[in-house]
Chains A and B, each alone.
Chain A
Amino acid sequence: MKLKKPLLMICTLALVAVLAACGSKDTQGDSSASGTANNDTTSTELSGSVLAVGSTALQPLVEQAAQKFMAESQYSKIQVQVQGGGSGTGLTQVAGGQADIGNSDVFAEEKLKDEAKDLVDHQVAVVAMAAVTNPDVGVDNLTKQQLVDIFTGKVTNWKEVGGKDEKIVIVNRPASSGTRKTFEKYALGTSTEDLKGSIQEESSGTVKKIVSESPGAIGYLALSYLDDKVKVVKYEGVEATVENVASGKYPVWAYEHMYTKGEPKPEVKAFLDYIASDAVQSGDVVELGYIPVSKMEVKRDVDGNISK
């Protein structure tokens, strides 16, 4: 009986300590992380933990790479954790120091203002997107202007762009989504508002399901999602293939970024180097439907300028 009360007190204190630690994590996450990094530099074998947060479009690649990375004997002491949450979350958390790596579909400069200067960009893959329609609309090719007309609501029937007499149903991603930003920026050249009656879906999987089932539907998907259930439309007569993207003929693509705050600590650098290695770039990257950065014959900067 005399033991119980101190026990209770200890429990309470422990709880308070845990709660306090939760509270201070936001501000001190960065300093504690750099503390572990300092310890690691003294030992030859890297150890520690790496937290990568952000883009759901990039998540499958990072997850698969993390599994293989941790299985390698020289990295076995490094724990890599991969979380989704979206590009905005990834950038916020890496800029705030809660995460070691922020995965993003867009350049940090497009989302953040001043914080973007501290972030170091690591481009790990390229994702290309294509406009897709329900198979029954009977359209094979759309020009940039036709796409703009469709997504801004000027054209509301497929027969106006050479298809069947069927009402057009737009299936969008949310206005803040990275996939939509890429599609609007490089395929339409303009941002669009959400029209009355248009559909917005949170994930590419749902977009594909709805486009494949709804008569007259149009949406856009990353190349890795494409199959026979939806009709892939040519853009300005160019087919959305890996070769056309690499040569720069097909313009609707974006880099997948993994941002770190400042120069990465050793175990994070090891992981980033691993993803950039040939084994992953020509293996997992291709296998999961991304395009390796090394394959690209053209480069693109933040403002969308293309150089060979």
Chain B
Amino acid sequence: MKAMDERPVQVEPARSARWKKHHAEDLAGRSYTFICVALLIVIIISIVYFVASKGLATFFRDGVSLSEFLFGTTWDPEGNNGEPMYGVLPFIFGSFATSLLAALIASPLSICASLFMTEIVPGWGKKLLQPVIELLAGIPSVVYGFIGLTVVVPFMRNVFPGQGIGIAAGAIVLSVMILPTITSVASDALSALPRGLKESSFALGATRWQTISRVILPTVLPSILTGVVLGMARAFGEALAVQMVIGNAPHIPRSLFESASTLTSVITLDMGNTVMGSAHSNALWSMALALMFMTFIFVLIVRLLERRHRI
């Protein structure tokens, strides 16, 4: 270090001072970002470690077998009917059913909205729709849940059999929540499309409909799917809004209009009332672990889609 510093001093003192200053700035910036990244990694690892250590205790300490946990259909952690049972299949089913259904409802709407903004009326359409969609993304989930409980649930109760509570109500609330995610990803992909693609399609005599359906949509399909998967991941992890409208009965429902549960709704419902370290609380942590695992899979799918997307 010393030897390196001395050489420029002999040549030109002023330049060396500047060099030293830039070098120091560089080093400071570098170490600062390194520390931030290290902190991030430490946080992530400790979260994963914490959830895993609590969640795995169900299997190693409380002696619940993995297959009983994943495929059991009876959830009775307090042991009201004899032995405590920790079957979470109804919740896994509920989580998948609500988020898939929500994606099914939201995807066509979002794709049409993004096509409208980028292809059909790029001028005022975008100016009008963009803020509206961004606003949707900013509404807190408790507000969605409350609206769901006061508007969607009574509506479902009047139109369909049952109490209006259930997977259908949950999926409707979730679909509005994931609309902005899918729309923004899809419209970003659409506006990033090379102009030449569209123009050559028009030059060959294709109509707008033909261009959109045969050229544009197939090209951006992987990106749109990325958006759908991201939306599903959000729906999968959403707790509060779903919990308010789904009914939370720990059973696989016979219809879309019967009380059901999701992984997240059960965790929020029971967390405060269980004692840390008890088998019940550990089972909730195991569900959290399952949720994290699912998120991991969603991220993996998105990565795969992105890799395929590179033209």
Contact = CB atoms under 8 A, between A and B. Distances in A.
Given A193-B81, A197-B249, A89 B272 contact: yes
A12 B81 CA distance: 54
Contacts of B243: 202
Contacts of A97: none
A88 B274 contact: yes
B248 interface: yes
Contact of B165 (A91, A111, A175, A199): A199
Nearest to A179: B273
Contact of A12 (B27, B35, B164, B281): B35
Interface residues of B, number: 47
B78 A191 contact: yes
A176 B284 CA distance: 12
B80 A5 contact: no
Contacts of B78: 175-176, 191
Contact of A195 (B154, B165, B249, B272): B249
A170 B244 CA distance: 16
B77 interface: yes
Contact of B39 (A15, A89, A176, A197): A15
A283 interface: no
Nearest to A176: B273
A197 B21 contact: no
Contacts of A193: 76, 80-81
B275 A194 contact: no
B76 A111 contact: no
A17 interface: no
Interface of B: 21, 24-25, 27-28, 31-32, 35, 39, 75-78, 80-81, 149, 153-154, 157, 162-165, 243-244, 247-251, 253-254, 258-259, 261, 268-277, 280-281
Given A56-B272, A194-B251, 20 more contacts: A8-B31, A86-B272, A86-B273, A88-B272, A88-B273, A88-B276, A89-B271, A92-B275, A112-B275, A174-B273, A191-B78, A196-B249, A197-B162, A198-B247, A198-B259, A199-B165, A200-B248, A206-B244, A213-B157, A214-B163
